[in-house]
Structure 1
Amino acid sequence: MLAKDRDELAVYYCVDDLPGAHIPATRLNGVLERLQQGLPLSKIALNYLEKQGLIALLRHATGGSTSDKFHQDAKVEQARRKQEAEALRVAKEQERQERETARQAQMKLAQEKAKVARQALERDPKYIAKIRNQQLRARYDLDWFIEKDCFAPLMDILRRIDAGKRLSEKNVLWLSTDGEEYFSDSLRTAYHQIEAEFYNTQFNKNHDIWMAVNASSHYRKCGKANVADVLLKSVDIEAKKSPKLRSAFFTTHGGVKRDLGFKEKAIRLGEKAHGLMNKDFRPCTLIGAVYMETGNYILGQQWYEKAVERGATERAIDSELRSIFMRADSASQKAMQAHLLQVDPERYRWTRNLSAKR
C-alpha cells in the first residue's frame, strides 16, 4: 500500500492523528488494512483497540455500529485525543520551560558566585603576585616549570630587567652558572639592550671610547648591529694612540660589519686589530669566523688555531662553529661538515647530528 493510500485510510477511520496509522507493518496500520479488506480481526487485535481507547473502531470492527454511527463516535474520540494530546504537549512545554528557567537561575547563581570568588581572588595579594609573576615570565619565554631553588633569583632578575635596570655581577654570574637554562633568548636580548644603552650613555657623558666599544659589543648581542655601526662611525679612533684600545675598537667594529654582511670590511678591520695586538686572540677569532662563513674553511681553521694559541678555548671556538653551521644553508653545511670531519672526525662529530636535524 502506498503512503498516500495509508494516509487516506487513516483519515477515513478517524485515526490520522495517531502516527502508527501512517506507518506500514505497525499494529494499527494492519488493523486498518484488514478492516478495509473486510477481513475479521483477531482477538489480539481487538484487545489492542480496546487498550488504545479506540472504542468506536472496536465496535465497528465487531459489527456493533453502523458506518455513520462509527464516524460520529470516532470523530468525538479523535477530538478528545487531540485535546488530551495538546494538553499533554502544553504541560510538557511548561515543564520544559520551568526546567530551563531553573537551569538558567542556577547558572546565573553559579556565575555570580564565581564572579564574587574571582573578584575576591583578584584582590588577594598572593594571587596578584602570582599572576604578575606568570606574566613577567611569559614576557621572557620562561612560562614553564621553574625549580624551587631557582625561582627567587630568577624573579629578581626578571623584575630588574623589566624595570630597565642593570643586573648585578651576582645576577650575571648566576645566569651563567646555576641559572643558565633560564637565560632565554628574550632575556638575553633584554639584558644586552640595557647594557648597551648604559655604556652608550656613559660614552655620551665622558667620550670614553672604551664605553663605545662595550656598548657596540652589547648592541651586537641584542640584534642591533646597525646602531653599533652608527655609534662606532662617530668615534675618531685615529686620534688615539693606545694599541690595545685601537685593536679592541677595530675588532668590535669588524664584528659589527660581519653582522651586517660586509665580510671583506670585517676581515680588514680584524687584520688591523691583529696588527696592533698580535698576541690577542679576539681578532683571530673574528677573522676565522668570517672566513668560515664565506666558505674559506682552510683559512678560517688557520685563524682559529691562532686564536687558540693566543688564549681562546676550544670550547668557545666550537661554540662559534656550531653557530655558524646552524645559520648556514644546506649546501654550505655539507661543505663545512666535510672540512671539519676531515680535520677531526671525533671533535666535530656533532656536525652529523645537527645536519640530520635540519
Structure 2
Amino acid sequence: MDNSELQKRHFAALREKYQVDQYKSARSDSFLYLILRKAELGIQITNLELQWLKQNSLFKAIEIVSLQQYQADDFKRLEIEFLSLRPKYKIPETLELSIASPIYPILWKLEVGDFPADSELELLDSYDLVETTSLIRDILNFSKLKTSYKATRHLGHFFEEPLYAILKKLDAREPLSDFEADWLLDRDFEETLQIHWQQEDERKAIVKFLDLKAKYRIDSFPEASISSPLYITLKKLEEKQDLEKSECEWLEQQELTQLIAIDRKRKDVKFFKKLKAKYQATQYKSSEPSSKLFLILKNIESEITEDDIQWLLKEALLKTAEIAKEHHFRILKVKYQIVGQLAVVPFYEIMLKLERGERLDPKQVIQLIEERRLSRHGKIAIAYYKLEAMFYEKEYQRTGNRWNLPSASSNWRKADESENALKVTESVNWNKIQESDLKAALLVTRGAAFRDLGQLDEAEKCVAQAMECQSDSHQPYTLMGAIYYDRCEYSEGDKWFEMAAERGADDTDDEIERIVRMTKDKDKRRDVAEYLLNKDPVRYGWATSYLK
C-alpha cells in the first residue's frame, strides 16, 4: 500500500475520531487534515485554527480537541498541584517524591476534608514525616473539638487562630480572654459561647464551694466536685433553706454532724416563732431554741406540767399560761381516764394535788362521789385512796399508833391494791394488841383483802378471829355474808347478813348489790340475780338489770 492510500485511511480515521464526517469541502480537506494531525500529535492548536473549526460548525471536534489538549497539559497541572501541597503539609524540600508517590493521595484527601486512616498515618511515619503527622493530628483534633464544642459551622479544617486555640482552652477548661469571647460572639458561635459561659459558672461554683467549706469549717472534707451532695447541702444552708431528711441522713453518714446541728437550729428557730404566735407568746424576745419557753411550747399539748405553767406566769406570759392550763387539764383528764365533760373547778385543783402527791380533803371527795360527780372506782378516787393509804402508813411509822394500820389497809383495798393491804397487816404482833376493837378491825380489813384476792378460806379464818375479838360488831358478819355469796351459798350468806343487821348494819343490801356488780363471771352474776329476785322481787328489783 502506497503512502497516498495510507494518508487517505489516516485522514478517514481522524475524521471519525473527531466526528467531522459531515464536513464535505474537498478544497479545505488539507487544512482540516492539518488541524486533526496536530491535535492527534498533541501540538497546541492556534486561535486561527479554532476559529476555522467554529466557522465550519465543527463543534464536536472543538470539544474533543479541547479536552484532548487539556489532558495533554494535565500531568503538569497535577505536578504543580502536588507541589503546592508539600509546603502546606510541611513536606521537606529535600524529600524527593515521584508524582506516583502514595503520600500525595493522603495529602489530597486531607485537602478535601477526608481524614486519613491509621494505616495512612503509619505510612507517613515510615517516611519520617514528623511535622506532617503532627500537623495532621492537630487537624484531627481540631475537627473533634469543633464537634465537641458546637463549632462545626467553621468549614475549614486548618486550625487558623484563634478558633483552634479557643477550643483547646475550652477543652482544657481554661478561662477565655475577653477578646476570645468577643471573637466567638462576633462570629455567631453562640453554642460554643454558651459552653464557655457554662464553664465560667462551674469555675465560680467551685470557688464558692471552697469558700463554703471554709466558712462551715469542713476544709478537710475531700469532696471537691460541685456535683457532690455536699455542695448542694452547703448552698441550701447558705440560702437558709431547710434540708431534706435524705440530706441529713447523708450528712450523718459522712459524720458532718455540725451541719446537721446548724440546720436543726435554724428549723427550731422558725418553729419557735410559729409556736410563739400560736400560743400568744410573741412578746417573749428570745427565739433561741435553747430557751425554756421553746421546750414548754413544744410540749404544751402533750407533756405540759404545773411547773411549766408557773414558769409562764413568772415570765408574765399570762395568755400562754391560760392556754397551757387548758391543755394540762385535758392531759390530766386523759391520765385519770375521765371521759366526757368535767368542770375545771374543783377537779383541776384536785388533779394537781394528786400530781403533787398531796392529800385531798376527804369531805370534798366523799361529797363529789355522793353527788355522782366523781366515780367511786375512777382514777381520781383510786389515786386519792392510794395517797390516803400512804399517809396512814407514814403516820403509823411516825407515831406508832396502830389505828393507822386498818385505815391504811382499807384505803389500799379501795385503791384496788389488796396485796399492799395485806402487807400492812403482815408484820403485826397480834399478841401485843390488847384492844379487842383494834384487833377486830385489823382482822376484818385483812380478811377483806384475802377475799379481794379470792382466798376465801383465809378470809373466813380472819373473820372468825374478828368475831371472837368483837362479837357485837356487825362488820365481821357482813364480811362473812359476802364470803358465802362468793361461794354461791346465798341462803347461808343471808343468815350472816341478818346477823350483821341485828348488830346494827344498815347497808347489807348495798353490800349485796356491790357483790353482784363486782362479780365478773356472767353466769354466776345471773345466778345470784335470779336468786335475789325469787327471794324478793321488790326489795331486789335492781337485780333485773343483771339478767340482760
Whichever structure has more helix as a proportion of its residues is 1
Residue 153 (1) aligns with residue 153 (2): no
Match of 1:125 among 308, 315, 321: 321
**2:539 is paired with a residue of what secondary structure?**
coil
Q: Which residue of 2 aligns with 1:139?
A: 335
Shift of 1:231: 2.2
Alignment partners' CA distance in 1, 2:367 and 2:384: 14
Of 519, 524, 533 in structure 2, the residue corresponding to residue 332 of structure 1 is 524
Further displaced range: 245-254 or 270-279: 270-279
User: Matched residues in 2 for 1:213 and 1:195: separation?
Assistant: 12
- Conserved 8 A contact 1:281-1:306: yes
Cα–Cα, structure 1 residues 112 and 157, in superposed 2: closer, same or farther, change >3 Å?
Answer: closer
Q: How does 1:1-358 map to 2 (within 5 A)?
A: 117-120=277-280, 124-147=320-343, 151-178=344-371, 180-181=373-374, 185-313=378-506, 316-326=507-517, 327-356=519-548
Aligned to 2:210: none
Structure 1 unaligned residues grouped into runs of 5+? 1-110
Aligned residue pairs: how many? 241
Shift of 1:114: 6.4
Q: Which moved more, 1:238-247 or 1:114-123?
A: 114-123
Cα deviation digits, residues 241-279 of structure 1 (max 9, x gap): 211111111111111111122101111211221222222
C-alpha distance 307-295 of structure 1, shift in aligned 2 (>3 A):
same
Q: What is the one-letter code of the residue matched to 2:531?
A: H
Aligned-partner Cα distance in 1 for 2:415–2:276: 45
Write the letter of the residue equivalent to 1:351: A
CA distance in 1, matches of 2:426, 2:276: 61
Asked if 2 retains the 8 angstrom alpha-carbon contact of 1:291 and 1:299, the reply is yes
TM-score normalised by the chain length of structure 2: 0.41
Decide which moves more: 168-177 or 248-257: 168-177
* Identity %, equivalent residues: 26
Larger RCO (alpha carbons 8 Å, 6+ apart): 1
Letter in 2 for 1:142: I
Larger Rg: 2
Quickly say closer, same or farther: Cα 1:169–1:324, change in 2 above 3 A.
closer
Alpha-carbon distance in 2 for matches of 1:289, 1:182: 23
Work out the CA distance in 2 between the residues paired with 1:346 and 1:265. Answer: 35
User: 1:166, 1:195 within 8 Å by CA — same for their partners in 2?
Assistant: yes
CA, structure 1 residues 207+263, in 2 after alignment: closer, same or farther (shift >3 Å)? Answer: same
* SS of residue paired to 1:133: helix
Alpha-carbon RMSD across the aligned residues, in angstroms, is 2.3
Q: For the structure 1 residues 310 and 160, does the alpha-carbon distance in structure 2 shift closer, same or farther, using more than 3 Å as the test?
A: same
**TM-score normalised per structure 1:** 0.62
Paired residue secondary structure (2:280)? helix
Secondary structure in structure 2 of the residue aligned to 1:120: coil
CA distance in 1, matches of 2:528, 2:414: 24
Q: Which amino acid aligns with 2:528?
A: M
User: What is the one-letter code of the residue matched to 1:266?
Assistant: A
Label 1:354 to 1:114 Cα distance change in 2 as closer, same or farther (>3 A).
farther
Cα deviation code 1:157-191 (max 9, x no counterpart): 22112211111244234323346445561111101
Cα offset, 1:145, TM superposition? 1.5
CA distance in 2, matches of 1:251, 1:184: 21
Q: In 1, Cα distance between the equivalents of 2:455 and 2:377?
A: 28
Residues 1:112 and 1:248: Cα distance change in structure 2 (over 3 Å): closer
Structure-1 separation of matches of 2:520 and 2:321 = 50
| SS in structure 1 of the partner of residue 403 of structure 2 | helix
User: For the Cα contact (< 8 Å) 1:199–1:214, is it kept in 2?
Assistant: yes
Which amino acid letter does the alignment assign opposite residue 223 of structure 1?
A: D
CA contact (8 A) 1:157 1:171 kept: no
C-alpha distance after superposition, 1:66-85 (max 9, x if no partner): xxxxxxxxxxxxxxxxxxxx
* Residue 239 (structure 1) shift: 1.6
1:350 deviates by 2.0
Matched to 2:461, the amino acid is R
